[in-house]
Amino acid sequence: MFANRSALRRLALTATAGAGAFTLLTACGGGDDAPTGHTGMTSSAPAAVPTASQKSQTSFNNVDVTFAQMMVPHHEQALEMAELAETRASDAEVKELAATIKAAQGPEIATMTDWLSTWKASTSEGGHGEHVMPGMMTEKDMVKLQAAKGAQFDRMFVELMIAHHQGAITMARTEQADGAEPKVKELARSIETAQQAEIEQMQELLDRL
């Protein structure tokens, strides 16, 4: 009787120990039989981080768009003035200055037009009139410039182009202050630097024309 009880007790203890070991092995095991969906020690893929180019494509704001929309026709008018100088100017420095303006602003027009296309924005100034595009010549001014030749043209061209450049600088400074897209702000800085230097050149020109 007592022997049977001792045997039963040993069997129960053995079963209990075996069950505990199985439980421990199951909890700590990393074999093929581990249940799917276990999240205790798994690692997840890192969240996708936008590349620099992706950020650039989405970082523009309304100020950037307006700057490009207004600066394109502003530059186009400067090119029109520069083309007049090719045949009407008499001063060699005026002709050289006009060629420099044409060479710089032509590619800038292409760049800004491409940005507007990428942003799916209108390439026109969207109704912005001359009163909000500082430095723009009026039609009357353009007619007078077209009719002038020689020394008269030289002086009129320089005076009008100084005002035109000053207007561009005003717009460039607004972009630098309130724009969001780095490449647009960089172009605005470049425009301000180049046109400020040309203004200083033209002011010296006026002293001898």
Residue 45 lies in a domain: no
What's the CA gap between 141 and 79, in Å, rounded? Answer: 15
Q: Is residue 116 part of a domain?
A: yes
For 100, the domain range is 55-120+130-208
Pick the more confident residue, 19 or 109. 109
Residue whose pair of structure tokens reads 């303006």 in the numeric block: 101
As for how many domains the chain has, the answer is 1
pLDDT tens-digit profile of 43-92?
Answer: 434 444 444 444 445 699 999 999 999 999 999 999 999 999 999 999 99
Would you say residue 170 lies in a domain? yes
Output the CA torsion sign for 102, 104, 109, 110.
positive
Is position 46 within any domain?
A: no
Q: Is residue 160 part of a domain?
A: yes
Q: Does 152 map to a domain? A: yes
What CATH number is given to the structural domain containing 79?
Answer: 1.20.1260.10
pLDDT-based confidence at 192, cuts 50/70/90?
Answer: very high
Do the domain assignments include residue 125?
no
Tell me, what DSSP letter sits at residue 131?
G
Do the domain assignments include residue 177?
Answer: yes
State pTM to two decimals.
0.71
b/e map 151-175, b = 16+ CB within 10 Å: eebbbbbbbbbbebbebbbebbebb
